[in-house]
Amino acid sequence: MSQMEFNDTQAIYLQIADYICEQVLLEHWSVEERIPSVRDLAALVEVNPNTVVRSYDFLQQRDIIYNKRGLGYFVGSNAPQKIKVYRKERFLEAELPEFFRTLYLLDISLEEIQERYQTFIAETFPTS
């Protein structure tokens, strides 16, 4: 990964936490696998190490990662499930109301959304 493209709508440490969560959900980082050190990830995404420390603290509080003293940070055994619960809650409380507002303002029907969603799933995750 090269430098992250940060947006202004969310704190940088939360964007880094989201990146880590995506790596776990995409199975790029497996359960119980060691993740990059604070310094390595900070260099990778080009931020101050203190920002990565905040991201790691945030994820530790949610039992998504844990620290083995002297060895580094590791993906927790239930991390994928905990990530899904956390992100689903955040989506339903923060993003979905804004999505509904946009649908209403642009007069987009739920039927149109459903059709596009089904097309997206078929194209993105074709069945064997």
pLDDT at residue 3 in the model: 59
Token pair of 106 as six digits: 């642009």
H helices present in 75-128, as ranges: 79-90, 96-106, 110-124
Of the candidates 11, 20, 25, the residue with the CA atom closest to the CA atom of residue 78: 25
Residue 60 CB contacts under 8 Å (≥ 6 apart), including other chains: 66, 67
Global pTM reads 0.79
Q: Which amino acid is at 112?
A: E
| Confidence band of 127 (pLDDT split at 50, 70, 90) | confident
pLDDT in tens, 50-98: 999 999 999 999 999 999 999 999 999 999 999 999 999 999 998 999 9
